[in-house]
Amino acid sequence: MTPRRGATTLQGVLVIDKPAGLSSHDVVNAVRAASGEGRVGHAGTLDPMATGVLVVLLGPYTRLEPYISSAEKSYEATITFGSATDTDDAQGRVVAVAPVPDVIGDASRASHIVEGLVGTHAQVPPAYSAIKRGGRVSHRAARAGTPLELEPRHVRVLSARLTTLDQAAHSWTIDVTVSKGTYIRALARDLGETLGTKAHLSALRRTASGRITIAQATQLSDVVEAAKSHALATLFVDPFEALGLPVVHADSQQTATGAPLVSGKTYAEGTLVAVEADGRLAGVYHASGDLLVANAVLLGGPR
């Protein structure tokens, strides 16, 4: 059988240190062009301004996107006070300015305020986002001058810590870990409002996605060069670590068709597990009664 166009034997998880100025889609296109593999996707969008951990999936591993995207994310974020932008970040147009209160320059009070971010929040997403409503994309509607009225969503801040206070720049740099779907731009915007001023996100670097950290990331230029020399697979990270799920061992004959498996262990209903066969990731399954039922089957395992 002739392989379909854009199909290779590549299948794996790449961690790329996304450079500023490129969209997540730009990075995917670069990997697709260099590798010749048409099935390339990413798990967790980064805005063009942002840098850091971008998980890129190749081949059948694109099926893992929902499970990797759902992981908590960690960031190093710089928030500048005194002005708001239409995009809530430094790439936007300044739409409002306000005096900067004294608390912005008080390190002790600033630390206390940042630590107080921990918890659940009702967050209205930025107007310039990819959220859809009624078939319209929010950022397109905003650019057309007819912004959508977006509903608040519940998000969680799991940890927050002030690392740098720049009094001259009226800015704070914080380390923050958040749940899926949290917009750091919106967090910056809302923090300014809470403190009686305006604020926007002036820099952002993703330092972790679930168990994957920036220390595991490879520069995009090195990824492209490795692909050109047919050595891309040497840069793949452990898919079990990337998923961060309980691991269940099975026989490759049991997993070949994706049929339900007898787990041999009791899991709470709906628990996700990564199934390993012959040292390879065979798929992601969920617990259903006494069985494990396939969600995503990766026949053949990683190469």
The residues assigned a catalytic role are 47
User: 171: Cβ–Cβ under 8 A, 6 or more apart, which residues?
Assistant: 78, 79, 80, 81, 165, 202
- CA 295/CA 32 separation, integer angstroms: 25
What is residue 156's three-state secondary structure?
strand
Provide the β-strand partners of residue 281.
276
- CA 224/CA 232 separation, integer angstroms: 8
User: 105: Cβ–Cβ under 8 A, 6 or more apart, which residues?
Assistant: 165, 167, 170
Provide the β-strand partners of residue 204.
77
- CA 129/CA 279 separation, integer angstroms: 40
The DSSP code sequence of 120-153 is EEEEPPPSSS--EETTEEHHHHHHTT----PPPE
The DSSP code sequence of 199-216 is EEEEEEEEEEETTEEGGG
